[in-house]
Amino acid sequence: MIAIPSVTLEILVVVIGIFLLMAESFFPAADKRHIGWTAVLALGFVFVMSFFVTGFSGLQENPAFYVMDPLGMFFKRFMLVATALTIILAMDYAPVYARFIPSATPQAGVGEFFVLPVFACAGLMWMVSAADFIMIFVALELVTITFYVLVASMRRNNGSLEAGVKYLILGALSTGFLVYGITWIFGVTGQTALEGIQQIVPRVKAPFQLGLFFGLGLVLVALGFKIAAAPFQFWVPDVYQGAPTPVTAYLSVASKAAGFVVLLRVVETFLFAPDLDAAWASKIVSVLAILAGLTLLYGNLAALPQNNLKRLLAYSSVAHAGYLLVALASLSSPNAEPAIGFYLVGYLLMTFLAFFVLVQVARVAGRDEIADFAGLGRRSPVLAFGMLVAMLSLAGLPFTVGFYGKFLIFVAAWQSAQFVLVGIGALTVACGFYYYLKVVMAMYWQPAPDGAPAISVTPVTKFIIFLLVAAIIVFGVWPEPILAALR
Amino acid sequence: MQLALFWTFSLLMLVFALAVVFLRNPVASALSLVVSFIGLAALFVSLDAFFIGIIQVLVYAGAVMVLFLFIIMLLDLRSEKTRKLNLAALAGGGLVLVGFLSLLVRVVFAKDGYGEIPREALTGPITDVVGVGVTLFKSFTLPFQVVGVLLLVATVGVVLLSKKELK
């Protein structure tokens, strides 16, 4: 086996992005979907290559900005899969997208829609390996700026423009919090590397501790924006609803997962510092627990009255951030970290499945209301079955990944004595069943409106839907492969 | 002397930063921002960070602000009309502000005072352009390259969002 340093993966992804950008400008007349397929194949190649890289990061730098550990590697693959799925989804969405950009030909301007996610992918892969606040900041900005462009890119759609502006302003605000927090931490410890900070944290004397944890608090606020935790979630519904649907899926899966990995690394830096003051450790945990409780309640209760499926999925994304935060507040249990990884994989599978079906239905209906799903069980059994599995898994029915993920998280929470959170979690799962099954009810129990047009699904999309359904059920009953990959 | 200069420039910066928010005329806001940036540049210089101080004046007070004024001119913005205040939003914003400020005051004026910073001295201040360049390219290679990718994406994005008719 050849020793390939792991940083090659990100470099390769950036090179793919640059290559595609150039291809896009050299073949202006070509069908832009070729660019999308090239991107998917190239990302697939990087995914395969990721199994041949060695633990060696390929960088001999001091300070170490980049770590190469199983967690980072796992989430690099996660990002590659999420990006490839986003681009495939974007190709299904291209006809809708092309309607909302001012262009002379139907294919113009769609190319960037397939290329920009590739650059975002490189940023996400750097983010999950970042071991230094400077690297975290830079990679996070690369991701966020790509998303500003992607969210606002449907320029003739008011919803997309509104979402773009809201995301830009609140994203800039959260960046401000992040930098300010990092400044405080740097001011007290003189370090930006997470490892260096961990060494110094226990030696920080009483008056400085306040400054240090003030900085940590600000960083938590900023990352709370990124992962959509209450009370920093107010941008989520409008942005998710307004953004082009593939971007919404990408934002809610990849951006959230990367945010959680960074959050995990930052929190562990402080929580697992040797001989940390027990009072501070319990304060950090209780802040995380309060965030988790609020996020769970807000996400699930606000999702109850929604009639627009995209908005419903936005609130459900907040709710799932809540379950993940429960695991983060239970880090004293050794099961918490694998639970977060597994839950995010399940979240990727079921969210993309839901969005794949949504894009097909919305393309015909022209909007994303749940009412448009009426009678889908008759109109298109394949799509309806895909949505059924996605909704049941999101709700957490046994024998799906959604159930096993929640189970792992509740076990971890129970082990670290977060009984209140387990209680809130059980209550909100019940809420979840109500609003997810609303969609299922529309599909199977309500008649299709007269003259509802047929929905044509390409073989590739059918194959992807089948693959996602299979993965949800297989990993729901046999989760070992994923848990083994996380170790 | 240094303390007096610090307070002068800090006050200058803060007063004009508030003016940016509270003035109704966008041109006046933009010009207040210039003054605020110059105050900030002076603070950088007083910390021996000459390079950042100069860049602050050249890039922010110079280039970025000219761009701002151009945009204001091209958009033909008038003075903002007085809007009805949304009480709920005002209360919410005020609550966040009060919470944040009280936390900040508590941290900055910690009751035992701060005294000496408990850490090893950093590897000497970098004051000149050569030092900044060498540090960026030698010890910060990876983040520096990531910033390069970021700028590429931003350029593509600006072209994508501002192009009139895509061909």
Give the mean pLDDT of chain A: 90
Cβ pair A104:B167 closer than 8 A: yes
More confident residue, A94 or A392: A392
CA distance linking residue A215 with residue A420, whole number of Å = 28
Give yes or no for a contact between A348 and A252, defined as CB atoms under 8 angstroms apart: no
pLDDT, tens digit, for every residue of A402-456?
Answer: 999 999 999 999 999 999 999 999 999 999 999 999 999 989 998 887 777 778 8
- The average pLDDT across A389-395 equals 94
Share of chain A above pLDDT 90, in %: 64
Angstroms from B62 CA to nearest CA on chain A: 22
Cβ pair B147:A138 closer than 8 A: yes
Distance of CA B31 to the CA centre of its chain: 14
Distance of CA A126 to the CA centre of its chain: 15
Concatenated DSSP letters for A201-234?
A: GGG--HHHHHHHHHHHHHHHHHHHHHHT-TTS-T
Angstroms from A291 CA to nearest CA on chain B: 16
Least confident interval from A102-111, A228-237, B52-61, B150-159: A102-111
CA distance linking residue A368 with residue A277, whole number of Å = 51
User: What does the H/E/C string look like for A428-469?
Assistant: HHHHHHHHHHHHHHHHHHCCCCCCCCCCCCCHHHHHHHHHHH
- In 3D space, the residue among A226, A407, A272, A402 whose CA is nearest the CA of residue A327 turns out to be A407
pLDDT, tens digit, for every residue of A65-104?
Answer: 888 888 999 999 999 999 999 999 999 898 888 888 777 5
Give the mean pLDDT of chain B: 83
Give yes or no for a contact between A53 and A4, defined as CB atoms under 8 angstroms apart: yes
Give yes or no for a contact between A361 and A455, defined as CB atoms under 8 angstroms apart: yes
CA distance linking residue A72 with residue A261, whole number of Å = 8
Kindly report the number of other CB atoms within 10 A of residue A339's CB atom. 28
- ipTM score of the complex? 0.91
Q: Report the half-sphere exposure of A183 (CA within 13 A, side-chain side).
A: 6
What does residue A154 show for φ and ψ, rounded to 5 degrees? -85, 85
Cβ pair A103:B165 closer than 8 A: yes
Kindly provide the residue ranges of all beta strands, DSSP E only, lying in A19-109, ordered along the sequence.
none
Q: What is the pLDDT at residue A404?
A: 94
Angstroms from B139 CA to nearest CA on chain A: 6
CA distance linking residue B75 with residue B30, whole number of Å = 14
Could you tell me if A218 lies within 8 Å of chain B, comparing CB atoms?
A: no
Could you tell me if A63 lies within 8 Å of chain B, comparing CB atoms?
A: yes
Residue A130 β-bridge partners: A66
Tell me which chain A residues have a C-beta less than 8 angstroms from the C-beta of B157.
116, 145-146, 148-149
Q: What is the pLDDT at residue A308?
A: 92
Tell me which chain B residues have a C-beta less than 8 angstroms from the C-beta of A109.
160, 163, 166
pLDDT band at A457 (very low <50, low <70, confident <90, very high): confident
Q: What is the pLDDT at residue A451?
A: 74
Could you tell me if A350 lies within 8 Å of chain B, comparing CB atoms?
A: no
Could you tell me if A117 lies within 8 Å of chain B, comparing CB atoms?
A: no
Cβ pair B143:A134 closer than 8 A: yes
- Give me the helices (H) in A154-193, please: 158-189
Q: Report the half-sphere exposure of B166 (CA within 13 A, side-chain side).
A: 26
- The average pLDDT across B32-43 equals 92
Concatenated DSSP letters for B121-134?
A: PPS----SHHHHHH
- The average pLDDT across B80-93 equals 78
Cβ pair A145:B119 closer than 8 A: no
pLDDT above 80: residue B80: no
pLDDT, tens digit, for every residue of A209-245?
Answer: 888 888 999 999 999 999 999 888 889 999 999 999 9
Any residues with CB less than 8 A from the CB of A441 and at least 6 apart, and which? none
Q: What is the pLDDT at residue A107?
A: 61
- In 3D space, the residue among A345, A357, A288 whose CA is nearest the CA of residue A81 turns out to be A345
CA distance linking residue A263 with residue A228, whole number of Å = 12
Tell me which chain A residues have a C-beta less than 8 angstroms from the C-beta of B119.
188-191, 200
Interface residue of B153, B155, B163, B164 to substitute, partner A, most A CBs within 10 Å: B153
- In 3D space, the residue among A436, A354, A444, A339 whose CA is nearest the CA of residue A395 turns out to be A436
pLDDT above 90: residue B122: no
pLDDT band at A467 (very low <50, low <70, confident <90, very high): very high
Angstroms from A110 CA to nearest CA on chain B: 10
Tell me which chain B residue has its CA closest to the CA of residue A135.
B143
Interface size A-B, in CB pairs within 8 Å, comes to 114
Dihedral angle, C-alpha A405, A408, A414, A420, nearest 10 °: 0
pLDDT above 60: residue B7: yes
Share of chain A above pLDDT 70, in %: 96
Could you tell me if A331 lies within 8 Å of chain B, comparing CB atoms?
A: no
What does residue A243 show for φ and ψ, rounded to 5 degrees? -65, 155
Cβ pair B161:A145 closer than 8 A: no
